Amino acid sequence: MSRVFNFNPGPGTLPEAVLEQARDEMLDYAGTGMSVMEISHRSPQFEALLNQASADLRELLSIPGNYRVLFVQGGASLQFAMAPMNLRPAGASADYILTGAWARAAVKEAEKLGHVRAIGSTEKDNFKRLPEAAELEFDPNAAYLHFTSNETIQGLEWAAEPLGPEHVPLVCDASSNIASKPIDVSKYAMIYAGAQKNLGPSGVTLIIIRDDLLATIPPRLPVMLDYRALAESNSLHNTPPGFAIYMVGLVLSWLKANGGVEGSARRNAEKAALVYNAIDGSGGFYRGHAQPQSRSRMNVTFRLPSEELEKKFVKQAEAQRLIGLKGHRSVGGLRASLYNAFPVEGARALAQFMAEFQRVNG
Ligand code: PMP
């Protein structure tokens, strides 16, 4: 067996130690004589692992006591619809900061169900940067303000939360940078994230929601689309994605054992610096898509002098076991995703490969 350096944008690489533990526990989870996939979601063993995962996320992100942690299905894409269904009363409007492909996807869903204002769009700059504070014209009556903390496709990341009107709840799609650095959860009303990039496999989505928002949810929402109902059942209204939640639990323990989100932040900064330095030191052979002030630590997007060279780069990188570097078709070029579990040696290997590729082809 030999593992590659997996730069895939999601599902992404998982910690080897986590995969090994899952393998070791596969046939007999916690002395049950069953795999975790075979036990009842009403069993004490499952409830314990769900509550432990929730407690570990709370500890890692210092989530205050007045927030609930939920595990749901449907991906972050379902949250594009659920957030407006739950948090935007009939007739009200919500503000969405339009920073790239995923913010746009969120706007599209929210528009089907009610009024949205897309603000601060940087589309005319081809989403190469995030908006400046002065470009954001907030609606003081908005039901909430939504932003995408990391644009996975364009490779843009907010260094700090946008500061909207104080009383407008802040809602964040953190799918591609959750638990990658410390954040002040008390600034947010709700955070949601598909697990499959920074926290585990696909199949489960994490929601962190402030208690008081649960009280104003419209009545008569279908139960699986109702945050209050999901909170009341502790994410156990129906059969949850047990194996995915178990894997998230293992990743959270791994993060705790590896310096918490501070440790993640240190490693993530080191990895991103290795690749951005390779771009910046190339004399223009490699060109970053994102402007430097908006660069993502999670997804490094860049171009080469021609599409032909880009194809060659991907192919030769694969031969050196650097996998998943092809960029999204809407941006083109290359994308190196460097999520929490991606090792520093992988970023170093990519930087070396980039230098060598330029030496031969530059
Ligand atoms: N938001 C962001 C920022 C994403 O990167 C993605 C997935 N790439 C999504 C939402 C959609 O997530 P899912 O596939 O879990 O619906």
* Bridge pairing between strands 299-303 and 287-288: antiparallel
pLDDT at 231 (0 to 100): 98
Report whether pLDDT(1) > 90: no
pLDDT at 19 (0 to 100): 98
Compute, in angstroms, the gap from residue 154 CA to the centroid of ligand 1.
13
Task: Name the percent of the chain lying above pLDDT 70.
Answer: 100
Compute, in angstroms, the gap from residue 76 CA to the centroid of ligand 1.
5
Q: Which atom of ligand 1 is nearest to the CA of 75?
A: 15
Protein residue whose Cα sits closest to atom 6 of ligand 1: 175
132 touches 162 (CB < 8 A): no
Query: For residues 304 and 292, what is the distance between their CA atoms, to the nearest angstrom?
Result: 17
322: domain CATH number?
A: 3.90.1150.10
289 shares a domain with 249:
no
135 shares a domain with 27:
yes
Structural domain includes residue 1: no
pLDDT at 348 (0 to 100): 98
336 touches 275 (CB < 8 A): yes
Q: Which atom of ligand 1 is nearest to the CA of 152?
A: 5
Report whether pLDDT(10) > 80: yes
Task: Name the percent of the chain lying above pLDDT 90.
Answer: 99
Residue 59's CB: how many other CB atoms inside 10 A?
Answer: 14
245 shares a domain with 279:
no
The pLDDT tens digits of the residues spanning 203-253 come to 999 999 999 999 999 999 999 999 999 999 999 999 999 999 999 999 999
Residue carrying the six token digits 């169900």? 113
The one catalytic residue among 56, 181, 197, 271 = 197
The pLDDT tens digits of the residues spanning 271-330 come to 999 999 999 999 999 999 999 999 999 999 999 999 999 999 999 999 999 999 999 999
Structural domain includes residue 4: no
Instruction: For CA atoms 320, 322, 323, 326, give the dihedral sign.
Output: negative
In the predicted model, what is the mean pLDDT of the chain?
Answer: 98
Band (pLDDT 50/70/90 cuts) for residue 63 is very high
Residue 254 is a catalytic residue:
no
171 shares a domain with 28:
yes
Residue 197 is a catalytic residue:
yes
pTM of the model: 0.98
Domain boundary among 216, 239, 257: 257
**Which of 206, 250, 196 minimizes the C-alpha distance to 63?**
206
What values do phi and psi take at 157, rounded to 5? -140, 135
Structural domain includes residue 330: yes
205 shares a domain with 152:
yes
Contacts 24+ apart (CB under 8 A), 310-319: 310/334, 312/361, 313/357, 316/353, 316/357, 317/350, 317/353, 317/357
114: domain CATH number?
A: 3.40.640.10
214 shares a domain with 97:
yes
Report whether pLDDT(101) > 90: yes
| Tokens of residue 172, six digits | 């964040």
Domain boundary among 215, 241, 257: 257
Compute, in angstroms, the gap from residue 118 CA to the centroid of ligand 1.
19
Protein residue whose Cα sits closest to atom 14 of ligand 1: 75
151 shares a domain with 88:
yes
